[in-house]
Structure 1
């Protein structure tokens, strides 16, 4: 799958990194055990406290993305306190995070293939051949960016595999009305070996907190929410002993086939 760029042994590395992050959180937080209460159930209990503090007998709630999970758990824990609740899609509460990620990855690949099929049918597409052949071309292009990053006009920034894969995935998931923008970025990168258009998107994302290299205080906190808090939530929501490192490695190997 095109977004699976992790190296073998990622499971062990992820566990070690998580342990270090947890230790730092305990050391530098005013509440040392903070990360132990960063699971979804803790969030829903906090939400119910807020409902009570504002004097509402019921919670009116609209959830999107991760908010779907929060709303679902709230309805399970506090069914008699649910008022009007809108969740923008259904989510299983019994599936593991790994199963959810696998389904999401499959969906992303389906959308990417839909984009490729559309691109091949139009003039100016940098991809050629069948959908499978074009998919392989795009995959190879992205994986080679770290070793041979394209030039960026008037900037010292370089475009790497991780950032480029993120934006390709984002545009493929988005409205087909914006697919032409993705085609222009890929054409510049694959034909001219220039990364100016992709770099501009990375810079724009950095202003909203989606870039790895945080500069402002706002970006630092948004990166924290995405990286550290997300990891803590996954760990707390997973059952103790649900998966060991060997299982993680086996899952990673299976996904790469």
Structure 2
């Protein structure tokens, strides 16, 4: 199961919906109201409550149709969070954020990222939400914590007929648990329905236009929104963009290349001053990591009352490659593990899989496949999966896998390609930001999405890491803030150097 939930490592998606494109009811029905109040259940990445909470932060619920084809039928409550504008005299409205996934909690992430967004908060109420199927918004559940622990711990090495059979069996068991625990919501968690939810949020906060920042998967959500509701688009930024047209195989190979390139950049950075804890030079460091992974596949390393498996170790490595800022911690974690101490690498793996210190899991690893699999009609054959895996392993023995297609092949709900073709014709200008060193959403996807959206302008970031706006680049921050706060669209071909 680890082969799908963690080896795919990302941030995918295209949308699906069971409803027609833009129902007239949305335009004529009075918007639902959001009852804002104190936040009572915010969580840090480790699952613990925040040490100190800003009393001005508010949380709320918004009722939306479970099935937009039946607007008067069952309802779903979306969980929201608001950081009110600090300069109310110059307030421009609201700015909605989606930080990625699919499956990440916008409620928790906005609370954690608030200080980094202080400039935007001067003039906007900052708003985010747990999308349908995520955490507080009827989050998809698939078994208990012990079962998720087993799934996320499974190895990717070696790749042979036995592991393929084990993987497919684990996929079937996991899919059955998702159907058992969350079957009612599974057909309705697609990106098109989430985009409809965002228009309900826009209306509920009283904004005539949606101002929006989408990161990673959030770029897919933004592109779908701009396609469904082009006249409602305000100022929109899509950072670390996805190409919704790619197949499972294309996505898996592109992301495998991206993570391998980031890993090689990490190794070069680590050894340049001669004190790298992983090895004296790139070749030695790479060989040490490869041996470590093979050793863990043969015999996991005891960490407290848990086992650091090869699957968890490679997940931990990949998690640290999302940002150049975490490379020093990755060096420490690998160096410690080479000496028999796996706590730091286990911590990195847990940060990716959403495991708290108490052993419970967020819905990150369960919402991710639920949204991914319903967002496409593609269901790869066994031959497709083996071809994809073989090609990915040639690119990277560390990160190569069959990708998300293996789980979607046995998913209990049919998918749709409705949102794989985006076109924002008629919308206000959209700014797309792509990073040359992004491992999870490779740069090649940025110009593709820009072209598909018709009204978009591309900004290129030359640096490392997944996402540019929060990377520390003053150049990117300046261009994006100038657009969001003043409406100045970056010039054609705008490029920013590494931070």
Q: Which has the higher helix share?
A: 1
Distance 1:48 1:21, change over 3 A: farther
Unmatched segments (≥5 aa) in structure 2: 1-6, 9-155, 395-499
Instruction: Say if 1:44 and 1:74, in contact at 8 Å, map to a contact too.
Output: yes
2: distance between equivalents of 1:47 and 1:72? 12
Answer with 80-89 or 45-54: which moved more: 45-54
Q: Among residues 149, 156, 159, which one is paired with 2:308 in the alignment?
A: 159
1: distance between equivalents of 2:174 and 2:319? 28
Deviations 1:147-168 (A, max 9, x none): 334454xx33332222222222
- SS in structure 2 at match of 1:91: coil
Deviations 1:22-70 (A, max 9, x none): 55444444xx442111111121122223323444332121111211110
State the Cα distance separating 1:75 from its structure 2 match.
0.8
- Residue correspondence of structure 1 range 184-203 to structure 2 within 5 A: 184-190=332-338, 192-199=339-346, 201=348
Q: Among residues 354, 362, 372, which one is paired with 1:210 in the alignment?
A: 354
Instruction: For CA contacts below 8 A with separation 6 or more, give which structure has more relative contact order.
Output: 1
1: distance between equivalents of 2:164 and 2:196? 31
Q: Which has the higher strand share?
A: 2
Matched, 1:181 2:318: no
Deviations 1:104-123 (A, max 9, x none): 22111111111111222334
- Residue correspondence of structure 1 range 33-112 to structure 2 within 5 A: 33-112=184-263
- SS in structure 1 at match of 2:308: coil
2: distance between equivalents of 1:163 and 1:239? 30
Distance 1:161 1:62, change over 3 A: same
State the Cα distance separating 1:198 from its structure 2 match.
3.1
Answer with 228-237 or 60-69: which moved more: 228-237
Q: Among residues 238, 244, 257, which one is paired with 2:381 in the alignment?
A: 244
1: distance between equivalents of 2:364 and 2:327? 26
Matched, 1:231 2:369: yes
TM-score, normalising length: structure 2 = 0.42
How many pairs are equivalent? 239
Deviations 1:136-195 (A, max 9, x none): 33122123224334454xx333322222222222323322x54333222222222x3222
Distance 1:37 1:13, change over 3 A: farther
Distance 1:215 1:180, change over 3 A: closer
2: distance between equivalents of 1:170 and 1:68? 20
Distance 1:73 1:17, change over 3 A: farther
Matched, 1:140 2:282: no
Deviations 1:232-254 (A, max 9, x none): 2222221255x323212221122
